[in-house]
Structure 1
Amino acid sequence: MSLSLLLLLMVGSSQAEHFLGTVITYYPKDTFTNGSVQVVLRYKTNFNSCGTLSWACLSGVCGNESLVQNTVDTESSGEWCQQEGKSTRLVPTNAPFQLHLDGGNWIGNIQNVTGWKAVILVELRNRSDTGKANTSPQTTILPLLRVPSNCSRDFNLLAFDPDGDEVVCRHANAVNNECEVCTAPSFLSLSSSCSLSFRPTSSSNEGSYAVQLMMEDFPRQTISLTQTDSSQVQRSDHDSISKIPIQFVFRVDSAVPSCTEGLYLPRVLPPTPANREQLSTQVNQPLEISIKAEASVSSISELLFSGPYNTDQETLAAGDYVLRWTPSEDEVGESHPICFVVQANLSSMKYQSELRCVIVTVTPDTTASPSPVTNSQIFLKMRIKSAVVLSEEVMRNTVLQQITDELVKRGLPGNFTLRLINFNPTTTE
């Protein structure tokens, strides 16, 4: 027992002194008749050696947790290890709550940021526009991004919202208690659309920086959020709904003789998917992402990625890789982010390609044999609001198709026919 305790303390000490950031998102799953809600939170924690860590309740009722943790990827030289936690929580109501991750210390950095803190706001009240609980923006990030001090580079972070909301990024701030020390690198500009822009800087700014961002979702029109007790709040397009943290290390390396991609810095080649590309795959069917890059002066050494923990990486040749991921039944309807860079070496220097990210939506397995259903009919009575009076032709040719598409999107198998059997066009409802 003493030996086990000593080993746990050693792991905890390693984590406390070598933090490289975190990111967390959430997906509501089921709402039960007693008003309780099941929500799945997926988070990445980054240290320079693998260890486990979980989020704690900060405010509200955070429910009971079932937690599974696994390693996602490690940098070959041992500079970092990223682990993914899947936290399934059963909360008694759909009231919002907050979780936080805090401790110490960040890896050595120019800003002298030591203690770390990250906060997520989970909003599960039902939206008036979708009829469902809100889902957070979906994103991920590598533990460490790097660029030579004399090279310009834009990092367009993945910013995908399953509800169709506008996604906005900002620096974390101390006013909202979102970070321990919130100093942002002055030479790294952030747009509201979640693009980080680095421009050449002096050698005096070379080194590591702690980047601490917040990503929020804003409805595109005013909506209401309804709680289990029937109370409601309004959210306009100026009000954020949920917020998630994105924290990582940004390293400014020594100047490189040339910033032209394909020489020292790896250049990404086809058939690598474009940044922010939206992909889809069926449950239990492997998705393959081909990634290619070249560098004529440096030597490409590895592919680094952040995504679901059970993503497999295959190296076909230097600069030629395949990421392979097979989603489970539990992930149907969800969207999962995957980000990657290709890294090259020259002597003691490391060079990274541009950051690319994709979002993968999981659809039902259409190859599975459906249960036999014969001559089943379901009658729906619907009230549709329109700015103009709808004709029966428009209803049959346009509105029915939109309803069909929405039902399939929400998980109904596509082998059904929707027919209009009665229609009253005398009002706009």
Structure 2
Amino acid sequence: MLEKFKLNILLQGLTLFLLGPACQASSLGLTVSVVPLDSNGGNTVEAYFSAIAPNPCPNLSGLCAVGENCRVYATSQPFSGTKPSPGWCVRQWQKTVPSNFTGTIKLGSTEMYVSIKAGPIVRANSGRLNQPAFVALPPPLRALVNCPRNFYLSVKDLDGDKVRCRFASHKQGECLTCTQHSFIKLDEGKCMLTFTGEAPAGQYFIYLMAEDLIPVPMIRHVTENKPLSSVPVQLSLTVEESNSICTGEPVTTGETPKMGSTLFVLPYQEVQFTVNFMSQLESVLEVAVVGPPELYRVGFTSIASQAMMTMAWIRTENQLTRLLPICFAANSKSLQSEARCVWLFQKEMTTLPAGTELKCDNAKMTLVLPVSSLTNINLAELQLNSPTCPVTYNSTHLTAHIPLNGCGTKTVQSGSELVYTNTLQSVRPYTKVSRLPSLILPLACRIPGVQAKGPLYNVSMPKEVEIFGVVRYWIEIYLPGQGPATQSTRSLRLLPQRLRRGAGLPSKINTTSTSSINSTSTSSINRTSTSSPSTTSSPNTHSSTLATTSYAIGSKINQLDIYVLSNCSIGGAQMIVSNCITSNTSDFAETMPFLNQGLVAIDLFHVIV
């Protein structure tokens, strides 16, 4: 009886395991871009791996064994995201493997089974090795229970072949545990996945193969069109509980690039674009991105229903594939936008003609190009980034002197190097149609970084006393026309009701104490006194009048000159007195301003600094 009970428990456990969502996966996403190597006839390929692993993000150790032709990409700004929980990160590396390769790759605690079928096939139409299809890797996909939606994969083929996506087959050795879920449909011709919504909450894994086939005209009936190659694609779909709302996910707006658009990139050229999203129900938490190494993402903002982020990539010397996908999607708390992908196409450049010289110095680059190498090129159509910079030529050579800070020269940073770039290219009027070839010649001067060596150094700012010395301030009060700056004193035009009466004032009052007057200085000091900017009378005319004026004891005093002086010995230094206050008591318990931000508040004093 006990044995029968144990057997029932075991059968129930197996049933729950088979019917429930997948709990373990090789990865949250994986694509492999394959480039056959001409050096050995395509029997080996350069495989570029992009894998999405769950957090905690695994390190890159163990991916490359000693002696392998392998390299990892530890980028300065890794690709990562928080949705689905507990988050994820992208790991990228490349390795030389056989054209037909199967094996398990371990990335931290995650194991990925990979099957590549890219046996060397020489194309009859070009005589070159066939290039397998490229598939862009989107961020981890998300959906809601009972909410159907479609997921499009972005695919490209350098040979122009038709690309088909199909489920991986265990019988063909393309996967180990690749269960096909009944709630996920696949349109093979469009590479479109459809989630029917009929799945419980959980995380599910999808194993596909992308194949390239020779295009066949629709008028021909072909019974069998065998694929030229097959590369693996692994995706994850996280289904979350629904609040019965299946619409309202973030949507792209503005000038966000369209799905599958291609941006052509010249050497040392920078490409940049901005993605915009609108989300009515929930604010965008992040823009999840999977792209090539050293793709910059800056300026992420999410305000109310609007979100945006800018991405940029600089083409430097690299060993990456010619086609580089960038996929992005906006994640809110429970919703995800469509995953949209953009392709960067690294244009292949031919070798410079023999005799071409590009010299670089600290101020300019000089190009000398043999005219004989420019067959059927209209030399009059050639110009630099800026059409205002001349390009000269004669019967033998074309010459251009290009300043590093002009003629449209741009500056980009490549690792520790600073690179100045310009382009010599054919430019034709839009109204002109020509069958003549056009020239595009990227020009670049690289300035290597210099590492400073030697003892440690310290930077400190000198103290104020070290610059100006010990500075002393004092105040002197004079009758108008009797101070040390009599040629600069000017009288204020005072209203009769505001005149003040002074009794028994001496001709000079020297106040070295600030018991009755306090001043505030806001800058350095000049020994040369200047007059207040608040007066409007002519200094020469008025000072002459003041010099001949006498004051009797008991007479009315309309104005006093107050001098704020300093002993600063630095030539050219200036002092600005912004505020002065007066008080009837020595403790300044009650004060009254008479100079406020350069304006005279009372009419008794004329301040001179």
Same fold (TM over 0.5): yes
Q: Is residue 171 of structure 1 aligned with residue 171 of structure 2?
A: no
2:205 aligned residue (210, 216, 230): 210
Over 3 Å counting, the alpha-carbon distance change for 1:370 and 1:306 in structure 2 is farther
Displacement of 1:334 in angstroms is 1.1
* Alignment TM-score, normalising by the size of structure 1: 0.67
Displacement of 1:40 in angstroms is 3.0
Aligned to 1:375: 372
CA contact (8 A) 1:307 1:337 kept: yes
Aligned to 2:92: 84
Aligned to 1:195: 192
The structure having more radius of gyration, on CA atoms, is 2
2:119 aligned residue (123, 140, 143): 123
Over 3 Å counting, the alpha-carbon distance change for 1:377 and 1:287 in structure 2 is closer
Aligned to 1:240: 227
What is the CA–CA distance in structure 1 between the aligned matches of 2:207 and 2:320, rounded to whole Å? 31
Greater CA drift, 314-323 or 164-173: 314-323
What is the CA–CA distance in structure 2 between the aligned matches of 1:215 and 1:255, rounded to whole Å? 32
Identical-residue share of aligned pairs (%): 23
The equivalences for 1:176-187 within 5 A come to 176-187=172-183
Displacement of 1:362 in angstroms is 1.5
CA contact (8 A) 1:339 1:356 kept: yes
- Corresponding letter in the other structure for 1:217: D
Over 3 Å counting, the alpha-carbon distance change for 1:124 and 1:314 in structure 2 is farther
What is the CA–CA distance in structure 2 between the aligned matches of 1:331 and 1:276, rounded to whole Å? 23
Residue by residue over 1:247-275, the C-alpha shift from the partner in whole angstroms, topping out at 9 and shown as x without a partner, is 121111111342223xxx21221211111
* Alignment TM-score, normalising by the size of structure 2: 0.49
- Corresponding letter in the other structure for 2:191: C
Displacement of 1:45 in angstroms is 1.9
Residue by residue over 1:304-344, the C-alpha shift from the partner in whole angstroms, topping out at 9 and shown as x without a partner, is 11110211111342111112112234469811111111111
2:338 aligned residue (327, 342, 354): 354
Residue by residue over 1:12-54, the C-alpha shift from the partner in whole angstroms, topping out at 9 and shown as x without a partner, is xxxx98732321011246x34x768884321112211233377
Q: Is residue 42 of structure 1 aligned with residue 48 of structure 2?
A: yes
CA contact (8 A) 1:145 1:249 kept: yes
Q: How many residues align?
A: 332
CA contact (8 A) 2:142 2:239 kept: yes
Over 3 Å counting, the alpha-carbon distance change for 1:371 and 1:248 in structure 2 is farther
Over 3 Å counting, the alpha-carbon distance change for 1:210 and 1:314 in structure 2 is same
Displacement of 1:55 in angstroms is 7.3
What is the CA–CA distance in structure 1 between the aligned matches of 2:186 and 2:277, rounded to whole Å? 27
Gaps of 5+ in 2: 1-23, 351-357, 359-364, 376-433, 442-609
Over 3 Å counting, the alpha-carbon distance change for 1:266 and 1:36 in structure 2 is closer
What is the CA–CA distance in structure 2 between the aligned matches of 1:314 and 1:213, rounded to whole Å? 33
2:29 aligned residue (21, 36, 41): 21
What is the CA–CA distance in structure 2 between the aligned matches of 1:369 and 1:289, rounded to whole Å? 32
CA contact (8 A) 1:276 1:359 kept: yes
- Corresponding letter in the other structure for 1:75: G
Aligned to 2:237: 250
What is the CA–CA distance in structure 2 between the aligned matches of 1:370 and 1:127, rounded to whole Å? 39
Aligned to 1:97: 100
Aligned to 1:325: 313
1:284 aligned residue (268, 271, 285): 268
Aligned to 1:69: 73
CA RMSD of aligned residues (A): 3.7
CA contact (8 A) 1:25 1:43 kept: yes
Over 3 Å counting, the alpha-carbon distance change for 1:43 and 1:18 in structure 2 is closer
Aligned to 2:388: none
Displacement of 1:132 in angstroms is 1.9
Greater relative contact order, per chain length (Cα 8 Å cut-off, separation 6+): 1
Aligned to 2:469: none
Over 3 Å counting, the alpha-carbon distance change for 1:120 and 1:55 in structure 2 is farther
CA contact (8 A) 2:139 2:328 kept: no
Residue by residue over 1:44-78, the C-alpha shift from the partner in whole angstroms, topping out at 9 and shown as x without a partner, is 12211233377799xxxxx9523223354111465
1:375 counterpart SS class? helix
CA contact (8 A) 1:124 1:133 kept: yes
What is the CA–CA distance in structure 2 between the aligned matches of 1:249 and 1:90, rounded to whole Å? 26
Over 3 Å counting, the alpha-carbon distance change for 1:152 and 1:180 in structure 2 is same
What is the CA–CA distance in structure 2 between the aligned matches of 1:251 and 1:297, rounded to whole Å? 20
CA contact (8 A) 1:209 1:250 kept: yes
Aligned to 1:418: none
Gaps of 5+ in 1: 1-15, 58-62, 108-114, 223-234, 379-399, 416-429
- Corresponding letter in the other structure for 1:294: M
- Corresponding letter in the other structure for 1:41: A
Displacement of 1:160 in angstroms is 0.8
CA contact (8 A) 1:98 1:120 kept: yes
Over 3 Å counting, the alpha-carbon distance change for 1:178 and 1:55 in structure 2 is farther
Over 3 Å counting, the alpha-carbon distance change for 1:101 and 1:55 in structure 2 is farther
What is the CA–CA distance in structure 2 between the aligned matches of 1:359 and 1:167, rounded to whole Å? 16
- Corresponding letter in the other structure for 1:82: V
CA contact (8 A) 2:210 2:233 kept: yes
- Corresponding letter in the other structure for 1:169: C
- Corresponding letter in the other structure for 1:216: E
Displacement of 1:364 in angstroms is 5.5
What is the CA–CA distance in structure 1 between the aligned matches of 2:330 and 2:125, rounded to whole Å? 41
1:372 counterpart SS class? strand
